[in-house]
Amino acid sequence: MAIPNPITSAETNYKDSTLVCSHLIRALRGQEAFSPSKHRETRAAVIFTGKDRKAEEYESTFTEISREWDVLKKRTITRGKETGAWLTILPTFVNGTELSSYEWRDAFLLRYSLSPLGLPLKCDGCGVDFSISHALKCKTGGLIILRHDEVTRELIELSTMALRPAAVRDEPLIITVPKQHPTRTNDPNSKNNPPVDIPSNDGDRGDILLRGMWKNQHETIIDIRVTDTDANAHKHQHPYAVLKKQEKEKRTKYLQPCLDQRRSFIPFVVSTDGLIGREGKSLLTRIAIRLAAKWEQPYSVVRGFVSARINLAILRATNLCIRGSRVPASKMSKRVQWQDGAGLGLFETV
Ligand SMILES: [Zn+2]
């Protein structure tokens, strides 16, 4: 949790505190004239130096501790400093920042590369041995799609708060606009007309369309992907490199068709534990700027809220893949079990 041990940190904190107040102490003793600006400068310089020193101490301690860990554990725990926004926000139903005790425990254990308790032995969707890695990729039962949709809905809700409901649409069509041939004539039956691709309503779709997020009368299409950066295909790359690669893939495919329609395109790629790609962060920053202006709150507070909301949505969606059932209602037996008498009461007539 990164809470410092007060016994080991007391001496250093006392020294820092004395240095922060050094100008004030000298002024009180009559050794020099008090200057508010000099007091602020002294305070800022000591805090700045202290932060650097602590960062170095934490880094060397982490290197020492992590020497014995395997690569996967080191990756997971290193990512933790980027994915902890949900730990710092007050849980309330009103603001949508609550987690159940099970969700909280599972997310907390996964954050430290520990296995959640009470996991099944076999996957209820495909029957193979259950593991976290399998739960995050098993497509049986539709939980992977549901995970994507839940993150999408959270982003839609935040965007709607920042704009207005009418300016947010889901599943916009990304149409490849055909280029008109310059020799095409007005006569549709002319043999001189070259074949022209007709835009189809069956084309690729983005996940969200935002109108006016960056500038007036300008639309942005968002395409979302939730990925496990520790999956076998990605575990030899840095987690941010995995997100960057997937952002690039989406941009290569969709940016030009969007630009052709005077729209911009943002790939919103996140990891299953809440790491957010560079372009996704820029979108969240923009949402926070608009919300801070609308709610008349400090930007830093609102940015923390927005990060925590997305973080929590990702954690809940990931938890769904780990704890959720992969047996759809359509596959459940609807036969009434008469033999043991259970359920008979439901069919009694008076
Ligand atoms: Zn499975």
Q: Can you give the pLDDT of all 350 residues of the chain as single tens digits?
A: 667 788 888 888 898 889 999 999 999 999 989 999 999 999 999 989 888 888 898 889 888 988 888 888 888 888 888 888 888 888 888 888 889 999 999 999 999 999 999 999 999 889 999 999 999 999 998 999 999 999 999 999 999 999 999 999 999 988 655 555 555 566 666 666 655 555 555 568 899 999 999 989 999 999 999 999 999 888 889 999 999 999 999 999 999 999 988 999 999 999 999 999 999 999 999 999 999 999 999 999 999 999 999 999 999 999 999 999 988 777 776 666 666 665 555 554 44
Report residue 182 as tokens. 């310059």
Report the alpha-carbon distance of residue 299 to residue 174 in Å, rounded: 33
Q: Please, are residues 279 and 166 in contact by the beta-carbon 8 Å criterion?
A: no
Report the alpha-carbon distance of residue 256 to residue 273 in Å, rounded: 31
134 Cα to the center of ligand 1, angstroms: 6
326 Cα to the center of ligand 1, angstroms: 8
121 Cα to the center of ligand 1, angstroms: 11
Same domain, 50 and 160: no
**In this structure, what are the phi and psi dihedrals at residue 264, rounded to the nearest 5 degrees?**
-105, 165
234 Cα to the center of ligand 1, angstroms: 20
119 Cα to the center of ligand 1, angstroms: 13
Q: Please, are residues 257 and 175 in contact by the beta-carbon 8 Å criterion?
A: yes
What local confidence, expressed as pLDDT, does residue 41 receive? 93
Domain assignment present for 213: yes
> How big is the CA angle at 124 (ends 120 and 130), to the nearest 5 degrees?
45
How are beta strands 263-271 and 219-227 bridged, if at all? parallel
Same domain, 47 and 153: no
Domain assignment present for 127: no
247 Cα to the center of ligand 1, angstroms: 27
Same domain, 138 and 240: yes
Angle in degrees, 0-180, between the axes of helices 6-20 and 36-66, rounded to the nearest 10? 150
Report residue 32 as tokens. 């020099």
Domain assignment present for 76: no
101 Cα to the center of ligand 1, angstroms: 25
Same domain, 56 and 156: no
Same domain, 52 and 157: no
230 Cα to the center of ligand 1, angstroms: 17
**Domain total in the chain:** 2
Domain assignment present for 166: yes
Same domain, 250 and 166: yes
Domain assignment present for 228: yes
Same domain, 137 and 45: no
Q: Which domain holds residue 269?
A: 132-181+194-326
Closest CA to 169 of 96, 218, 220, 224: 220
What local confidence, expressed as pLDDT, does residue 163 receive? 94
- Count of residues in the chain: 350
49 Cα to the center of ligand 1, angstroms: 51
303 Cα to the center of ligand 1, angstroms: 37
Report residue 22 as tokens. 């050094």
**Tokens 């020799």 -> residue:** 183
Reported as half-sphere exposure (CB side, CA atoms, 13 A), residue 316 has a value of: 19
Domain assignment present for 292: yes
What local confidence, expressed as pLDDT, does residue 246 receive? 96
243 Cα to the center of ligand 1, angstroms: 24
233 Cα to the center of ligand 1, angstroms: 18
What local confidence, expressed as pLDDT, does residue 350 receive? 43
139 Cα to the center of ligand 1, angstroms: 7
Same domain, 146 and 292: yes
127 Cα to the center of ligand 1, angstroms: 6
Q: 3-state SS string over 292-313?
A: HHHHCCCHHHHHHHHHHHHHHH
318 Cα to the center of ligand 1, angstroms: 14
126 Cα to the center of ligand 1, angstroms: 4
What local confidence, expressed as pLDDT, does residue 343 receive? 56
Domain assignment present for 212: yes
242 Cα to the center of ligand 1, angstroms: 24
Report the alpha-carbon distance of residue 178 to residue 38 in Å, rounded: 66
341 Cα to the center of ligand 1, angstroms: 34
Domain assignment present for 17: yes
Put simply, whether the predicted model's pTM sits higher than 0.75 gets the answer yes
Same domain, 311 and 176: yes
Q: Give the Cβ contact number of residue 257 at 10 Å.
A: 18
**CA 184 from chain center: how many Å?**
48
Q: What DSSP string runs through 185-232?
A: -S-TT-TTPPP-PPP-TTS-B-SEEEESSSSTT-EEEEEEEEE-TTST
Same domain, 155 and 291: yes
25 sits in which H/E element: helix 22-28
Same domain, 55 and 165: no
Report the alpha-carbon distance of residue 124 to residue 294 in Å, rounded: 46
Q: What DSSP string runs through 38-96?
A: HHHHHHHHHHHHHHHHHHHHHHHHHHHHHTTS-HHHHHHHHHGGGS-GGGSS---TTTT
What local confidence, expressed as pLDDT, does residue 277 receive? 95
